[in-house]
Amino acid sequence: MDHNTDGERFVRLRLEKVGWFNIRANRPVPDADEIDEVILKKEPTGEWYVSLVVEVDEAPEKPALSEIEPTDCVGVDLGITSYIHTSDNLAVGTLGLSDEYERLRREQRNLSRKQHGSNNWEQQRQRVAKANRKIKRKVQDFQHKLTTWLVTEYDLVAVEDLDVKPMLETSQNAKNKQDAAWSRFLELLEYKANLHGTHVVSVEPAGTTKECASCGVATDKPLWVREHSCPACGHTQDRDLNAAKNILSRGLKQVGEGRSEVTPMQTALPASSPQREAVDAKRVVELGSLGT
């Protein structure tokens, strides 16, 4: 295998039994002797993609749990009205994909009118695949940027250990949750945490919304009620913020269970919170972070 570069993005690649062909790279291409494997894949759109497998430096060591301050930890609630809500009272909005879904439905209707197997049908099938691809890419780009921010901003991220499939099968909000692609988000979070030396702790999700983050008393509330109000202690705050605090508290307790030789990590969280900051998903996509 060999390759010649023509600028930073365009590369000529040669493979045995295939020969030379041009590719457009989305990142710097390593030297040929550093590449261990080349994977070619044809997408439903008819386009070909090349993946280059190389060895990378070892990931940084994760900080010892005994050295992590509670202020460097965060609980993340995966929501519906917002994509995530953190225990620091940061709410990141959901992606606006209505235009993309409308285009997909239009292309699918056009496909249904074509004769199956004809040239026109194949061309329209590729248009449907491209519309699907645009949605997938927007979601993945958003998730990559958001998970990167979480693992670089905090030393420990606590999340719910969600079983997404039954939720999609039974919930009236299945489409919203499918758009959120929570399984993929959690997988990326684990992957990015290993790259950046951050701890990810998965906690039991049952009761995180019901329990009061201040006193622990559980209170049932329908989905449309967006504020937690505790009848026992009178504590009130945003429903998702309350859940995020419970997630963080469970995460801190969980990592503290195996640390008997050191001082247990503080698990008490303040009932009060900083003023809520709402971040539009567009800001994450455009800036690649949550910074201003």
Query: What is the longest distance spanned by two Cα atoms in the chain?
Result: 73
Active-site residue among 88, 160, 211, 238? 160
Active-site residue among 88, 100, 211, 240? 240
Q: Would residue 153 show up in a list of annotated catalytic residues for this protein?
A: no
Q: Burial-class residue 275 by CB neighbours within 10 Å (0-12, 13-18, 19+).
A: exposed
Angle between helices 98-112 and 119-153 (to 10 degrees): 160
At 91, is the secondary structure helix, strand, or coil? Answer: strand
At 92, is the secondary structure helix, strand, or coil? Answer: strand
Angle between helices 119-153 and 182-196 (to 10 degrees): 50
Q: Which residues contact 253 (CB under 8 A, 6 or more apart)?
A: 267
Q: Would residue 88 show up in a list of annotated catalytic residues for this protein?
A: no
Give the Cα separation of 116 and 31 in Å (integer).
Answer: 45
Parallel, antiparallel or unpaired: strands 227-229 and 277-279 = unpaired
At 153, is the secondary structure helix, strand, or coil? Answer: helix
- For the chain, where are the alpha helices, taking DSSP H only? 98-112, 119-153, 164-170, 174-180, 182-196, 239-256, 281-287
The two structure tokens encoding residue 106? 């239009």
For residues 228 and 212, is the Cβ–Cβ distance under 8 A?
yes
At 257, is the secondary structure helix, strand, or coil? Answer: coil
Beta bridge partners of 13: 3, 21
Active-site residue among 77, 100, 107, 238? 77
Residue among 235, 242, 246 nearest 268 (CA): 246
Q: Would residue 220 show up in a list of annotated catalytic residues for this protein?
A: no
Q: Which residues are catalytic?
A: 77, 160, 240
